[in-house]
Amino acid sequence: MSAHALTTSFVAKFSGRLGFLGLTLIYALLVAACLGTLAREDELSLGRNPVANLVKTVGEFAHPSFLDVWFGNPKLEYKSDDGTVLRVENRQEVEADYLAGLGRATWTTIRIATLGSLLGALLALPLAVLTARNLAAPKPLAWLAKGILDVARSIHTLVFGLVLVGIVGLGPTAGILAIGLHSMGTYGKLFAEAIESLDMAAIDAVRSVGATPDQVFFNAIWPSVLPQFVSSHLYVWEFNIRDSTILGLIGAGGLGLLITEATSLFQWGRLSTVLIVIVLMVSAFDTVSRRIRQALS
């Protein structure tokens, strides 16, 4: 038996386990390399007094700013070093104003997510029809559509947003377009899968009673794909509500702007308020959309 044959049989017998072992080893080496190089560059430190900082930050987070609307000092005095009162501030009023601004920003975020999702869904629909394999669209068109969807899906919303802010300027329009372009990729994939899972036999059955193409569409295709379309739409919409909160970071308006503001001024109490609003909004939407999806299935 030649050495070559020996190796082949050996590989055939052990390649599965050895291969996995090899991959594990490579992974371990990679982790070690990451840790080792960072340690050598002295970048693994946790700062000078992490515990105290942690306690301080957590303490400020634990006192969200909206509590001041009721419990804030109505006559907070700002004094100069020699004790003269510079300014008297009503904390309750200030925080009430902040909450009102937060409400407007939340509404902006919801508007960006809603319109962006709708835009993405509308753009994706024709592309999904072209990419669905069972509809057998002409090959070049199918490839083109798939290419557009893949590109849209692989570019992050934030990147789209940065580019679009440069084109259409600051504001919600850039956010809507960014959300729409990125989620078009996601919608396209989900819609195409819904179309591909169509029951062709049922479509043939409706055709076999002599139904016209429009009747086949409304009586066989539409009822079958609609629930899946709605379900995908709710899912991506919910995802976009989360995603659009971050778009304010690049000046597209909404909650992200307040996050940037709070973090750059180290106002952890206000950041805490904003995060609470985001969590409430996302979980409320999640509850509603889950109900709707259950009712549709």
Partner 1 sequence: MNEISISLQKVCCIADGRALLDVGALTIRHGERIAIVGHNGAGKSTLLRLLTGFMPAAHGKVEVLGRNLADNPSAHELRTLRRNVGQIHQGLHLVARLSALENVLIGSLGRVVGWRSWVRHFPTAEIARAEAALHAVGLLARAKTRADKLSGGERQKVAIARLLVQQPKLILADEPTAALDPAAAGEVCHLLAQAARQAARHAALITVVHNPSLLPLLADRVIGLKNGRIAFDLPLAAVDDQKLTNLYRPDEAAPAAPWQLPESTRCSVFS
Which of 218, 266, 287, 291 forms a contact with partner 1 (CB under 8 A)?
218
Nearest alpha-carbon partner for 127 in 182, 189, 183, 176: 189
Q: What angle do CA 108, 281, 113 make, to 5 degrees?
A: 40
Q: Going residue by residue from 195 to 214, which x/- string records binding to partner 1, judged by CB under 8 A?
A: ----xxxxxxxxxxxxxx-x
Residues in contact with 44: Cβ distance below 8 Å, sequence separation at least 6, in sequence order: 35, 38
Would you say how long the chain is, in residues?
297
Between the alpha carbon of residue 50 and those of residues 27, 54, 57, 157, the distances in Å are 30, 6, 10, 33
Q: Count residues near partner 1 (CB under 8 A).
A: 28
Q: How far is the CB of 208 from partner 1 (least distance, A)?
A: 5
Query: Contact between 84 and partner 1 (CB under 8 A)?
Result: no
Which of 36, 59, 169, 223 forms a contact with partner 1 (CB under 8 A)?
223
Q: How far is the CB of 176 from partner 1 (least distance, A)?
A: 31
Q: How far is the CB of 123 from partner 1 (least distance, A)?
A: 19
Nearer to partner 1, 46 or 201 (CB): 201
Q: Over the range 230-243, which residues count as b (16 or more CB within 10 Å of their CB) and which as e?
A: ebbbbbbbbbbbeb
What one-character DSSP code corresponds to residue 144?
A: H
- Residues 124-153 touching partner 1, rule: CB under 8 A, are 129, 134-138
Query: Contact between 171 and partner 1 (CB under 8 A)?
Result: no
Return residues touching partner 1 (CB under 8 A). 129, 134-138, 199-212, 214-215, 218-220, 223-224, 227
